[in-house]
Amino acid sequence: MRNPFIKILAWKLKILARLTLRRYKPGIVGVTGNVGKTSTKAALVTVLGHSRRVRVSLKSFNNELGLPLTILGDWDSTGGLFFWFRVITSSLFQIFVKNPSYPEILVLEYGVDRPGDMKYLLDVARPHIGVVTALGEIPVHVEFFAGPEAVAQEKLKLVKSLPVTGFSVLNADDIAVLEMKKESRAHPMTFGFSGGVDIRISGFQNHFDKKFTGITFKLRYGGNSVSVRLTKVLSRAHAYAAAAAVAVGLIYGMNLAKIADALSGYRSPPGRLRALGGIKESVIIDDTYNASPVAMHEALDTLRSLKAKRKIAVLGDMLELGKYTIEAHKGAGRLAAKSTDLLFTVGTRAKFIAESAVRAGFPRKKVLSFMSVRECGRRLQEEIRKEDLILVKGSQSVRMERVVKEVMAEPARARELLVRQSGRWLRKRGLYDNYLPTGRRGL
């Protein structure tokens, strides 16, 4: 915990959250993993909200303050002392005076940055259903752990905490996640593209043309299958989110057809492989929420799979990788060399992406490296041609959404379409806002 005030506040929120859960006894679905959590939460609330009162925070309310805050109310942002006073007083009121509209199901995100984080969150609320999305070989937040295995062990604590009557919903395509099946007392349900899973994704396609931009796929369960069509999103990440939501929907007694009907209303949260209109009739794949090696590879694989006149990748630093930083960025560079026609990088670490791409055979003259997100965005404006396809991705602190804002077709709708557009975030400096423009072609 960062300081005495936060420690005292977290303790108060923890007590209030536990009392609230005792008062209302909602079903709890816990979501953890290193990528795909927010999209999975969005899919879960789309499916479960079809017939039940559900609360989920699509923001990263996943720590010692955020998780209890989701339990206590439908708050969409945090603030200063007055805000926390409101939270505490309203929470006390609903503990003593029953709130008839309190949700039947809470979808909570369990995030871990350091060893011991999961235990603290489970002391606040233990789920009956646990969903583990994906970990990857080099997970994000690994810098405070001994290695990827230690991160997996921390996440495993959620699965181990599930009761015998509970369910563990696991991504079978991630080996580390599938291994958790052996250590869970709960009934396992697996999902993925692999054979032998409970919820199987098949026939997946990315679509990118004037008629339809989105994804289509089939979901199979118990001999039955349904077709799913999701608009304005790209990549297999959203198919995984849908499959996890199918598993939880089935646990809650919904049938496959009803779940598929509910999924037609799925809308990706901002900054998660979302297709946006760009200037000069270009299309932007906005994946600026955050970045980890597995998510970076998924985004570049998606870019590679799509047909376009020209493809541009704009890639920022990946943070919190500790000793794996150089290796992870070099791996992204090798994949970028196969996926794009023009490469922009932002940040000190992303220069390893640029260098690795050139070593893999990518033309040096088609690489532009920057230390300023705003300068990168302005240069990107100059480089864009009609009908380009542009992927923008980087870690949260790099603030790559500012690049998107420079080149999106409707910047007046930024608050609606982009991530981190609240007043607090707009006032906050990004990691590379302080640098003077240093954009240059080549390395």
What does the pLDDT read at residue 141? 66
Domain membership of residue 16 (yes or no) is yes
The pLDDT confidence band at residue 40, using thresholds 50, 70 and 90, is: very high
User: Which CATH number is 41's domain given?
Assistant: 3.40.1190.10
> Using one digit for the tens of pLDDT, what is the confidence trace for 323-380?
999 999 999 999 999 999 999 999 999 999 999 999 999 999 999 999 999 999 999 9
Q: Determine, yes or no, domain membership for 221.
A: no
Clarify whether residues 108 and 254 are in a common domain: yes
Q: Do 38 and 71 belong to one domain? A: yes
Q: What is the pLDDT, as a whole number, of residue 439?
A: 42
Number of domains in the chain: 2
User: Per-residue pLDDT tens for 256-298?
Assistant: 999 999 999 999 999 999 999 999 999 999 999 999 999 999 9
Q: 268 in a domain, yes or no? A: no
E strands, 241-352, in order: 274-277, 283-287, 311-316, 342-346
Check if the beta carbon of residue 372 is closer than 8 Å to that of residue 437.
Answer: yes
In a domain, residue 214? The reply is no
Residues 315, 373 share a domain? yes
353 within domain boundaries: yes
Residues 407 and 288 in one domain: yes
Residue 220's pLDDT is 97
Same domain, 423 and 307: yes
Strands 311-316 and 389-393: parallel
> For residue 26, what are the domain limits?
4-197+235-261
DSSP 3-state of 360: coil
Q: What is the percent of the chain where pLDDT is above 70?
A: 96
The mean pLDDT of the chain is 93
Q: Are residues 255 and 120 in the same domain?
A: yes
Domain CATH for 344: 3.90.190.20
- Is 208 within the bounds of a domain? no
Per-residue pLDDT reduced to its tens digit, 97-140? 999 999 999 999 999 989 999 999 999 999 999 999 999 877 66
pLDDT for 206-244, tens place per residue?
A: 999 888 999 999 999 999 999 999 999 999 999 999 999
Residue 8 structure tokens = 């005292």
Same domain, 245 and 323: no
Per-residue buried b or exposed e for 91-113, using 16+ beta carbons within 10 Å of the residue's own CB: beebbeeeeeebbebbbbbbbbe
